[in-house]
Structure 1
Amino acid sequence: MNSKQLTAIIKEKILNNEYEHMKLPTEDMLMDEYGVTRYCVRKAIQNLVNHGLIYQVQGSGMYIKEKRDDCLILSSTEGIVMSFPNKKVESKVLNLHIQEADDELAKEFKCEKGTPIYKLTRLRYLDGEPFCIEYSRYNKKIIPYLSNEIAEGSIYEYIRNDLGLSIGFADKIILCDKINHEQAELLNLEENDPGLFINDTVYLSNGTIFNASTVLYNYKLTKLFDVANLK
């Protein structure tokens, strides 16, 4: 078992309220229970801290935070499905095609000009409400196959589970701007309403860029959550 698998197991138990007194077992107890190394446990614990699920008190242990089911976790690279485990997430593909990388895309992906790039636009819903519009690009040399069926589900789960790739980290730029008429219609808003845009550049664990996206979030439904390390 690796740290990501252990993270998923502990996370599921937290979400199902299986730990008493809002406190996790000790490192030694987790090592014995799951037959893993101390490094694996500590990596999983750090993942849970980054996801905003737990916090550590020196000399006392690891405590579970109150649930934030209504927030998008900024520090997570697991996608919307994992950020909202208790909500129904649906995706509608608006456009999916392949384009050869021009100078701009080649610079964005740090790839050769002419590299095939998937360009995907999809509308995502939370519990039936239009939550965001994703304008995504994927390097086809890294993500060799992407279909409407896959895009209607969780692409990141497909990348991890089916392609066996390890997602590392993402650079994020957050900005606000007015939305246009088409975007307003898709999100059930008004033209020139405010829009929360997040530009993501996402890397595999080996440092290769595989995905770049601009995501427009419905300002009426979106709350952001992150953990500030004040050490």
Structure 2
Amino acid sequence: MTGPWRWAAGLAAGAALYIGLPYLLVQRGGLGLITRGDPAGRQVALTFDDGPDPRSTPPVLDALRAAGVQATFFILPALGRQHPDLLRRLLDEGHEVLPHAHRHRHAWTLLPWTAFRDPGLAAREVGRLTATRSRCQRPPHGAYSLATVLGQRAAGVTGVHWTVEARDWAADATPGTVRAEVARQVRPGGIIVLHDAGPGARTTPAALPGILADLRARGLTVVPLRDLRGARPGTLRDVWHTLRGS
């Protein structure tokens, strides 16, 4: 193998290592990520990404307060700094606040060094804002490259994924479709991802009261991630079962 073919083979091998394996084992398989809890606990963790936003986070908080439940918010530090009163409300009402990202970009579009640094930067920034140590992080779009994986390890944070994606961000989403997606996908021990800012915030605040009522009607207790019983990072054995669809 010579010339262009050698270069092409090298690029293919590099892409497989940098993106392909993390996509298969981590993003799809959940290796090293918290993706679910113990189904025997009859709990579900409710999580929100992309906030806080003064237009859409308050109605989300109002719905949670009315239902008497707490959730986990993966925030963008820059928005937390811009809206300190809203961040204070999150904390005062007992919600868990964790880092989403320093830069809200898909991992595959970032230069490796930038992707490596992002989890640590986000964790430190959110830690300063909340006066706590961030133990978990969810990258934008739940996307991973090798640099993201290594960056989380270097920062001492565990990645968090989900079992229920309601597609509240989709262009054709409505409060009704978001509620129906959660009802269709949710199982005991699951982790639900919704959005309190960005495109998903167009539908989620209106859908949330119905979602919470549905979960209660099914005998499921809504908790923040910190209280999800049996939540732990996935192992190679878990990956095998996940990829087999069991």
TM-score (norm 2): 0.26
**Greater relative contact order (Cα < 8 A, sep 6+):** 2
